[in-house]
Amino acid sequence: MEAQGEGIKKKGITVSAGLVIAVCYVIALLFFYIVLGDESNFVGNDRNNHADNLMGTIYKGGIIVTILQALLLTVFALSIERYFAIKKAYGKGSLVKFVANIKAFLQKGEVAQARELCATQRGAVASVVNSALIKYEAVAVDDELNKEQKVLSIQKELEEAAALEMPTLQQNLPVLAALTTLGTLLGLLGTVIGMIRSFAALANAGAPDSIALSTGISEALINTAFGIATGAFAVIAYSYYTSKIDTITYSIDEVGFTIVQSYSTMHNK
C-alpha cells in the first residue's frame, strides 16, 4: 500500500483486558480493606460488630465483594477505553456526512477529491475507503487486467482493508460480553454463601447469633446488588459499542458498493 494511504491510518494504544482486571482488583482490595473496612464504619469501632453505615454494610458482604467491585471497575474502564477507540475510528467529522460526500465525489468521477476528503476525515472508515481508492486509481491505468478483474481487485482490497480494521474495533468487547454473565453468577454465588451463613446462625441451639445472622443477610444482599449492577452495566456497554461498530461496518459496505459501481459505470475496461 502506498505511503499516502498508510498516513491516514493511526493506531491508538491498545489496552489489555487482563492488565485492566488485575489493576482493578488491586484497587478493589485496597478500597475494601482501607475504606470500607475502616473501624469507624462499625458500632463501637469494632469490625466484628454491626455496620454503622452503608460502607460498613458493604464490607460485611465478604471477600466476594472485592471480586465484584473489580469486575464493575473493569466494565467502566473497558467502556471508557472502547469509547475513545471507536470515537477515533469514526474520524473527525460526521460519518454520515462523510459517506454522503464520498458518494457524491465518486458519482462525478472525482477520485482525487474523495481521497483528499479521506485524509481530512481520518478514522477506520476513511482508511478503508482510501485503500480502495488507491486500488481504484491503480487498476484504472493497468492494461493487463480486464474490467471484471479490476472490479474484483477493488473488492478484494476493500475486504482486506476492512479485515485489518475490525479486530481493533472489537478488541475487549468479548470481555464485556463475558462480564454480563460472570458478574451475575458471582453475585449469585455471594448471595448463596450469605444465605448459608444466615441459616447457620438460625440453626444454633437457643438464641440465634444475631451478629452472624445480620452478617449473612448483608453478604447475600450486597453481593446480589453488585452482581446485578455489574451484569447490567456490561450489557449496556456491550450493546452500545456493538451498535457503533455495526454503523461503521454498514458505512464501509455502503461506500465500498459505491466505489465498485462507480468504476463499473465510468470505465469501459
Q: What is the pLDDT of residue 147?
A: 80
pLDDT of residue 211: 67
Q: What are the C-alpha distances in Å from 43 to residues 33, 49, 57, 138, 216?
A: 17, 6, 11, 78, 17
**Residue spans of the chain under pLDDT 50:** 1-13, 205
The length of the chain is: 269
Q: Are 224 and 62 spatial neighbours (Cβ–Cβ below 8 Å)?
A: no
**What confidence tens digit (pLDDT) does each residue in 8-21 have?**
444 444 567 888 99
Q: Give 263-267 contacts, CB < 8 A, sequence gap 24+.
A: 263/136, 263/139, 263/140, 263/150, 263/151, 263/154, 264/147, 264/151, 266/109, 267/140, 267/147, 267/150
- pLDDT at 182 (0 to 100): 92
- The Cα–Cα gap between 83 and 18 comes to 18
Residue ranges of the alpha helices (H) in the chain?
A: 3-6, 17-30, 54-59, 64-90, 95-107, 111-121, 123-140, 147-170, 173-202, 210-266
Return the percentage of the chain with pLDDT > 90, whole number.
29
Note the pTM of the prediction, 2 decimals.
0.81
Q: Is 264 in contact with 155 (CB distance < 8 Å)?
A: no
